[in-house]
Amino acid sequence: MKYDLVKEGFTEFYASLGKISKKLPVFYNPAKEFDRDLSVLFLLATKKKKVLDLLAASGARGLRLAKEAGAKVWFNDINKEAVKLIKKNVKLNGIKPLDITNKRADELLVTTKEKFDFIDIDPFGSPITYVYQAIPRLEKNGILAVTATDTAPLFGVYPWTCFRKYGSFPLKVNFGHELGLRILTKAVIEIAAKQNVSLKPIFAHATQHYYRVYFQSRRGYVKDVLQNIGFVYYCEKCKQRFATKFEMHEKCKCKNKLSFAGPLFVGNLWDKDLIKKMIKPTKKLSIDVLKQKHKKFLEILLGEAEVNLPFFYETRELIKEEKINEFVEKLKNKGYLACRSHISPKGFKTNYKKLKFKKN
Ligand SMILES: C[S@@+](CC[C@H](N)C(=O)[O-])C[C@H]1O[C@@H](n2cnc3c(N)ncnc32)[C@H](O)[C@@H]1O
Ligand SMILES: [Zn+2]
């Protein structure tokens, strides 16, 4: 099989640069480079070392975690071609892997006795089916990172598919990706809770094509995370939105019937100190280049961690459309919490309650 040599971050590897599809001999999506960059920064900040790249494809992520963040990686993929390619890529980079296996993910998880500091679940579609068996393979305080590419159900295009897979109803609204990200978060937390393991989200991001959440695990303390499961309500008429934990609401203050999304995670998706570490320059110049590239994005996430609200507004919803940065500053100067959203260029979060929305 002939592959292209690609470069991501400071790692070179062979991959298929064909049309992105499940039908590629070995799957590779160059658009996820950004996501893989962030996982390198995450690993550098958390200093986690023993990694399981459960659905590794070309090994893109695991190779980068090994080369750029000093991880010891176990690569696995069900596809024989992928395993051959991983072997070639590992050699190319002079990396000593923990192992390279050609197993079904669930089979590997139930047969191995190994435990990992970081398990990455990056499948086609939903990660949910792999989560239950991954939990017992996490070391104490281990990290579970999941990617979901089935954003259409989570975003509200197929609400019943979302309910079937994640046990929650989404909402197809302008801030629907935030709700989808939180529905995914809730579903993963619930699975771990059944094993008396608390999974606290400490880093997350969403785009139209994929959602990704990183959780820190801890035995017990499950109620602490479950208490942050609730609902986000939205009034299509007056555009009000609010979050609750376990109360149910039917009518908006304006008397209109409320729509809702949930149950979903309404707590904080980000650990501020972790993001600060991810932004902070290090002595290694090469890593700084990577950080500079993503600094703006990480700064927005830090703002979101500080404001800690499970939904955002967009300036184009307002009667007087504002310039996003000036508007956020204006709200802050008035003493309100305010930040931008990483999901939408016109998105902002605030605890200011008197926003004036355009009518439908
Ligand atoms: C989205 S790709 C992984 C992308 C990769 N992590 C990256 O960053 O490029 C999903 C991979 O999962 C593999 N896969 C699908 N079902 C699997 C299963 N049940 N067990 C193990 N691997 C599986 C596929 O062969 C494919 O290579
Ligand atoms: Zn209303």
Contact 174, 151 (CB under 8 A): no
Residue nearest to atom 16 of ligand 1 (CA): 78
Class of domain 4-265: alpha beta
Cβ neighbour number for residue 294 with a 10 Å cutoff? 17
Contact 142, 217 (CB under 8 A): yes
pLDDT digits (tens, 9 = 90+) for 144-165: 999 999 999 999 999 999 999 9
Q: Which residue among 61, 78, 100, 118 has the greatest number of ligand 1 atoms within 8 angstroms of its CB, and so is best to mutate?
A: 78
- Ligand 1 binding pocket (C-beta < 6 A) is 27-28, 32, 36, 55-58, 60-61, 77-79, 82, 104-105, 122-124
pLDDT tier, 343 (very low <50, low <70, confident <90, very high otherwise): very high
Between the two ends of the chain, the Cα-to-Cα distance in Å is 55
pLDDT tier, 18 (very low <50, low <70, confident <90, very high otherwise): confident
Contact 259, 236 (CB under 8 A): yes
Given this model, what pLDDT does residue 293 score? 76
| Cα of 32 from ligand 1 centre, angstroms | 14
Top-confidence residue, 11 or 359: 11
Given this model, what pLDDT does residue 247 score? 66
Name the average pLDDT for the chain: 94
pLDDT tier, 70 (very low <50, low <70, confident <90, very high otherwise): very high
Given this model, what pLDDT does residue 287 score? 67
Given this model, what pLDDT does residue 282 score? 65
**In the chain, what percentage of residues exceed pLDDT 90?**
84
Q: Quick one: which atom of ligand 1 is closest to the CA of 107?
A: 20
pLDDT digits (tens, 9 = 90+) for 225-267: 998 999 999 999 999 999 998 666 778 888 898 888 889 999 9
Query: Is the pTM of the predicted complex or chain greater than 0.85?
Result: yes
Q: Where do the CATH 3.40.50.150 domains begin and end in the chain?
A: 4-265
Cβ neighbour number for residue 112 with a 10 Å cutoff? 16
Given this model, what pLDDT does residue 155 score? 96
Encoding tokens for residue 129?
């089916």
The closest of 41, 96, 35, 46 to 65, measured between CA atoms, is: 41
138-148 and 229-234 beta bridge pairing: unpaired
Q: Give the least confident one: 1-10, 288-297, 311-320.
A: 288-297
- Check residue 31 and report its DSSP letter: G
* 167 Cβ neighbours under 8 A, 6+ residues apart: 187, 190, 263
**In the chain, what percentage of residues exceed pLDDT 70?**
96
pLDDT tier, 286 (very low <50, low <70, confident <90, very high otherwise): low
In whole angstroms, what separates CA 20 from the centre of its chain? 21
